[in-house]
Amino acid sequence: MSIDAVLARLDADLPAATERLFELLRIPSISTDPAYAPDCRKAAEWLVADLKSMGVGAGLRETPGHPMVVGHVDGDGPHVLFYGHYDVQPVDPLELWDREPFDPELQDTEKGKVIRARGASDDKGQLMTFLEACRAYHAETGRMPCRITFFFEGEEESGSPSLVPFLEKNAEELRADVALICDTGLFDSRAPAIVTMLRGLLGEQITVKGPSKDLHSGMYGGPSRNPIRVLTKILGNLHDDQGRVTVPGFYDGVPELDPEMKAQWDALGFDHSAFLGDVGLSEPAGERDRTALEMIWSRPTGEINGIWGGYTGAGFKTVLPAEAHAKVSFRLVGDQDPHAIRESFRAWVQEQLPPDCTAEFHGHGNSQASVMATSHPAFEQARTALSEEWPEPAAYVGSGGSIPVAGHFKKILGTDAMLIGFAKDDDALHSPNEKYDLESFHRGARSWARILDAFDWS
């Protein structure tokens, strides 16, 4: 069979496919707000019905939160696990939307046609690219291109509280040769991307305590400890003058970038000036001897994401506060161990405390970095298939952000993930007037058809 017939069917079916996506977009499945729990269930049920319509054995799977959708279909060749999420972000501030967020519309813009609605890109539009590919393949051939497990979550935008327990409980059922995750973006409008490296994330909230109550700096200024001074002194030491994190052992497990990967990244022509210039910056901060792209995709960071203490209102109060606070996070790469770094960071803070001060810590999340085994044949097959669909060849890229599900698949199921998605930087994810380019939706479906058809690593 030639893939051309499937692609032609996807072309012809685009208006109907768009209308199917609109149906799903009309369901306001905001997972973080309990008022929308029935809508989340409705979206899950819509997906079950859609899977069934193309011969997939699918059903709702209850969790303490919103239900999962799991479907299985047999096929020749490898077994892939496809992941997407059907829940969406809240829509406030509603007044910044140009139209009702759950009333999708196809709009003409200067940059082409776009589908405008909450969830159009993140992640309903992306998720549906895969279903449309399967549907066309099934309609054209009467079968699926390979064995597929469909797995849709409804809590991704609210911290995925049920995900790990569900994976642990259903590991046997969900384990596959490779996982496909459609929740990332193109490299640029002409070149698709396969994310092969995802940074991990470790958050710590610190409270430094000194005197037993707030003091007046006239009465006590001089001999009394000031927790803000203590905190700034400590956090001021978090980086050396080369921009490297000074916490002992922090760089244990940080690999040097593979030279082939580095060569490929250098060839991407990433516009560092434009990237920084867009946000009012002119030169990269951070580690002295790294490019911005390297820093974001393959280097760990330590950042202070929040700090507060003392009087922060209008005017002035000469207070010496009893405590001061900060939120610190680390982006992790390679084999950096979040638990070891958490312990080392806490000890590093403790060692710097002067007399009469104590520190309290509260951990916020910890996820290890994910580095995909690109040596698996699926990666090169997918890259070739993507390159055939898009004007420019597909790139292996890193992602500075953290997509914990990829790490969970690896750790719990033992399944490596390929992250392939068709979102654009200007899709306004999580923001008013979210959109998905019709080209992303259409070429995305065609891309999946090509990828699934190319998979052969038996």
> Which residues in the 387-426 window bind a second copy by CB under 8 A?
399-402
Phi/psi-derived region of residue 385, left when phi > 0, alpha when psi is between -120 and 50, beta in every other case? alpha
Residues 362-391 within binding reach of a second copy (CB under 8 A): 364-365
Residues 84-123 within binding reach of a second copy (CB under 8 A): none
Q: Residue 104 or 398: which CB sits closer to a second copy?
A: 398
Q: Residue 219 or 340: which CB sits closer to a second copy?
A: 219
Give the strand pairing for 68-73 and 57-61.
Answer: antiparallel
Q: How many CB atoms lie within 10 A of CB 53?
A: 13
Residues 10-69 within binding reach of a second copy (CB under 8 A): none
Closest contact distance (angstroms) between CB of 286 and a second copy is 4
Binding mask 309-348 for a second copy (x = CB under 8 A): xxxx--xxxxxxx--xxxx-x-x-----------------
User: Applying CB under 8 A, which part among 17-25, 110-118, 199-207, 434-442 lies near a second copy?
Assistant: 199-207
CA distances from 265 to 38, 271, 297, 301 (A): 45, 12, 10, 20
Q: Residue 43 or 320: which CB sits closer to a second copy?
A: 320
Q: Residue 15 or 223: which CB sits closer to a second copy?
A: 223
Is there a contact between 334 and 371 (Cβ–Cβ < 8 Å)?
Answer: yes
Task: Name which position in 11, 62, 258, 356 contacts a second copy (CB under 8 A).
Answer: 356
193 near a second copy, judged by CB under 8 A: no
How many whole angstroms separate alpha carbon 117 and alpha carbon 104?
5
Which residues lie closer than 8 Å to 129 by C-beta, 6 or more apart?
182, 422, 440, 441, 444, 445, 447, 448
Q: Residue 67 or 227: which CB sits closer to a second copy?
A: 227
User: Applying CB under 8 A, which part among 5-13, 20-28, 206-214, 247-255 lies near a second copy?
Assistant: 206-214
How many whole angstroms separate alpha carbon 62 and alpha carbon 59?
10
Residues 216-275 within binding reach of a second copy (CB under 8 A): 216-226, 228-229, 231-239, 272, 275
Closest contact distance (angstroms) between CB of 399 and a second copy is 7
Is there a contact between 88 and 183 (Cβ–Cβ < 8 Å)?
Answer: no
Q: Residue 239 or 442: which CB sits closer to a second copy?
A: 239
Give the DSSP letter of residue 2.
Answer: -
Residue identified by tokens 């069917």 is: 9
Best CA proximity match to 104, nearest among 423, 449, 441:
441
Number of residues that bind a second copy (CB under 8 A): 81
User: Applying CB under 8 A, which part among 54-62, 122-130, 246-254, 302-310 lies near a second copy?
Assistant: 302-310
Amino acid at 286: G
Residues 275-294 within binding reach of a second copy (CB under 8 A): 275-276, 279-287, 290, 292
Q: Residue 8 or 219: which CB sits closer to a second copy?
A: 219
Amino acid at 254: V
Best CA proximity match to 143, nearest among 416, 406, 452:
452
Phi, psi of 309 (to 5 degrees): 170, 150
Amino acid at 410: K
How many whole angstroms separate alpha carbon 263 and alpha carbon 181?
26
Q: Residue 56 or 353: which CB sits closer to a second copy?
A: 353
Closest contact distance (angstroms) between CB of 315 and a second copy is 7
